[in-house]
Amino acid sequence: MQKVAFIGLGVMGYPMAGHLAKAGHEVWVYNRTQTKAQAWQQEYHGQVANTPKQAAQHADIILLCVGNDDDLRQVMLGEEGVVAGLSPKKIVVDHTTTSARVAREMAEICAFHQVSFYDAPVSGGQAGAQNGQLTVMLGGDPQAFAVVQQTIAAFAKFSKLLGPVGNGQLAKMMNQICIAGIVQGLAEALHFGQQAEMDCAAVIEVISQGAAQSWQMQNRYQSMLQGHYEFGFAVDWMRKDLGIALDEARANGSTLALTALVDQFYADVQKQGGNRWDTSSLLARLKHN
């Protein structure tokens, strides 16, 4: 078992850290809102750190899951940041969805302290985190990957090292690009069916057995038909992720015409007050229009 620190107890980090504790690891947690950390401690019986530095000092592997690039820099750097608590041979694993640029920046800083850094964004959403069924895409040094993989197996059903630091984030961008197009296609199909007065549930029962099948279709069509979006992966988060992908596309010269379009469709959903709605709420935009 490992001595593990987990920084960031949001909707993803809270259950991820819980799975680590249930797997028998010695877990220290830090969260900016200390009441959340104390609630986690009561539930999982780990230790609460007062600062990211203190959490890092007590651990061999430090895992993070915060909000964005700025949040990552805030908890990593400074007198009370994770870096201040590092010593040689420790490992930092960042599960935040960030830019590849900041991942490489953090890796350079960790390397100076003889610490391995992995960018390790996840896919599977809140349900995947709660059920310990996340998919993790990683970038980093192969040398310590076996240790990382064994540790994150507490909450991951699948993980893979995809190359150097930054490649995990690039893979997550590809993941979100795929999801954006699939959800828009599903939303348009359901909208079309409703306008044509079809029994959409019956149609989905048929076409989900063929080439149109997708995770989004299987897991979201019912709530979309019900107009239920108060759950899941929030539109605000998706726009953050798509913004990262679009920035990277401008840098590497790729063309993401569909992604850019769907990003603007999500902006329309935000104007409807759907900032915290699930990403499947693209159907609500079509109904509104």
CB contact at 8 A, 123 and 135: yes
Task: Write the pLDDT tens digit of every residue in 92-122.
Answer: 999 999 999 999 999 999 999 999 999 999 9
pLDDT of residue 246: 98
Neighbours of 126 (CB within 10 A): 17
pLDDT of residue 70: 97
b/e string for 4-29 if b means 16 or more Cβ within 10 A?
Answer: bbbbbbbebbbbbbbbbbebebbbbb
Say how many Å lie between the first and final Cα of the chain, rounded.
54
pLDDT above 90 (res 289):
no
CB 129 within 8 A of CB 102: no
Q: Which two tokens stand for residue 161?
A: 């090292």
Q: Select which of 172, 240, 271, 287 is catalytic.
A: 172
Residues 12 and 129: their CA atoms lie apart, in Å, by: 6
Regarding whether 148 and 17 lie in a shared domain, the answer is yes
56 and 133 part of one domain: yes
* Residue 201 and residue 68 share a domain: no
Over residues 33-87, the pLDDT tens digits come to: 999 999 999 999 999 999 999 999 999 999 999 999 999 999 999 999 999 999 9
How do beta strands 61-64 and 3-7 pair? parallel
- Residue 172 is among the residues annotated as catalytic for this protein: yes
Kindly report the average pLDDT of the chain as a whole number.
97
Whether 81 and 202 map to the same domain: the answer is no
Look at residues 100, 129, 163 and tell me which one is the last residue of a structural domain: 163
Same domain, 119 and 189: no
Is 192 in the same domain as 96? no
What is the tally of structural domains in the chain? Answer: 2
Kindly state whether residues 46 and 78 are assigned to the same domain. Answer: yes
State whether 133 and 81 are in the same domain: yes
Q: Specify the amino acid at residue 187.
A: A
Q: What is the pTM of this model?
A: 0.95
The domain containing residue 179 runs over which residues?
A: 170-288
The reply to whether 175 and 159 lie within a common domain is: no
Length of the chain: 289
Query: In this structure, are 14 and 122 located in the same domain?
Result: yes
Of 145, 163, 181, the domain-final residue: 163
25 sits in the region (left: phi over 0; alpha: psi -120 to 50; else beta) called beta
Cβ 7 vs Cβ 58: under 8 Å:
no
Where a domain ends, among 141, 163, 185?
Answer: 163
Tokens of 260: 């850019």
